[in-house]
Amino acid sequence: MNLPSRSSVLLALLIGLCALGEISTQMLIPSLRDLEAGLGAVPGSSLTALSVFVAAFGLGQLFFGPLSDRIGRRPMLLVGVTTYVLASLWMAFAQSMPEFIAGRALQGLGACVALVVARSVVRDVWKEKAGPVMAITVIGMLSAIMLSPVLGGLIATHAGGWRAVSFATVLFGGAALAGSLFFKETNLQPDAQAGRLKTLLGNYALLLKDSSLRSFAIAIACTYGAMFSFIAGSSRVLVGQLGLSPTQYGLVFGGIVSGLIAGAIFTNRTIMKYGPEKIVAIGTSLVAVGAGSGLILHELIGPSVAGLMLPQMLLTLGSGMVLPGSVAGAVIPNPTRAGLAAGFIGFSQMAGATVSGLLLSHLQDNTAFPMVALNSAFAVAGFLVFRIMRAKKGTDLFSNAKTK
């Protein structure tokens, strides 16, 4: 089978597949309070639905990425997107919060397959020049994130609330499934041992010996943890405390996400010149400054739309560098284990979000402080740990050179 052409159609499909997970969450966020009321659930229980999705989305990548190295990208993709569509239907007809949460978990598994396969395909097709293309998929994904809260707010307000939003994710999943039917296999040298438990553990052990990969994993985990604390908590603060409508919230959130797009565009244009490590170093600095500024403003003047929005735009500017830079830094050096590397870096990203969401749910006190405090803690941790690991790597390299 011939390698698929590097067409705009293929790239558009990959962008859509990468965006499924984010669309599933961002469209729903403006309706979280209505979801709880509609299902008769206790306030705050919707955060569990967000966290369960993220956990399933992250854990699944550890297995489905390597499995795509073994059986191919196409069969994994078709099964994953079909699962996503069926789970979205289940959520739309859910009659209780536990039932909705179960559907979200299944939806997370389907979306994680779409993401990890798409990232692996980028490495298969564009090979060593995959870095800028990774950034393009992130730009497209972030554009979807920016528009999704606005669209979700409009649907919830004018088309039937949170159930209509769930039906909208069915339509997005159906479009992705239709496109996937025409997808040609890109894993032309499948590994018959990949995905087996013994081989899987051994491959992960080899992968984690690379200190660069570990530093990228920490950077993306902490950065996404910082982002997710705001994603999960902002609706309750901006809508519940500051009085924004779901549509206004979507517009504010879209403005914040514009920083992500700007960071990803910068990465697309410069990653071949500077390399992933420098891009991620710059990004983690901006993330830390943005989150730290938000915490300081909150303590000085209290919560406000501008005081939350402006620092988060700086944070998302840095995040737009960290996300594609970390993925490229992990996947490009591993051509024969692209699914494995993509799965692990995706798991790291979602692990940061899961921990952040669980902490926020536990610390929630109907004020903005837990959100901005966690936002800052994760951001500063990512900044410090990434630099410590880079410094250690430099010392190790220097020591090895002296020995030789």
The pLDDT confidence band at residue 45, using thresholds 50, 70 and 90, is confident
Fold exhibited by the domain 11-183+203-397:
Growth Hormone; Chain: A; (1.20.1250)
Mean pLDDT for the stretch of residues 385-398 = 71
pTM: 0.74
Query: Each residue of 25-48: b (16+ CB within 10 Å) or e?
Result: bbbbbbbbbbbbebbebeeebbbb
Q: How far, in Å, CA of 302 to CA of 207, rounded?
A: 45
Q: Is the pLDDT of residue 125 over 60?
A: yes
Whole-angstrom CA distances from 78 to 18, 84, 136, 343 are 14, 10, 23, 17
Q: Which two tokens stand for residue 261?
A: 């797009």
DSSP for 110-133 reads HHHHHHHHHHHHHHHHHGGGHHHH
pLDDT in tens, 63-98: 888 888 888 899 999 999 999 999 999 999 999 999
DSSP for 224-249 reads HHHHHHHHHHHHIIIIIIT---HHHH
Q: Where are the domains of the chain?
A: 11-183+203-397
Closest C-alpha among 60, 53, 39 to residue 87: 53
pLDDT in tens, 308-344: 899 999 999 999 999 989 988 888 887 777 778 888 8
Residue 178: count of CB within 10 angstroms of its CB: 11
Rounded to 5 degrees, φ, ψ at 195 are 95, -20
Query: Each residue of 111-145: b (16+ CB within 10 Å) or e?
Result: bbbbbbbbbbbbbbbbeeebbbbbbbbbbbbbbbb
Mean pLDDT for the stretch of residues 129-133 = 79
At position 48, the amino acid (one-letter code) is T
pLDDT of residue 51: 79
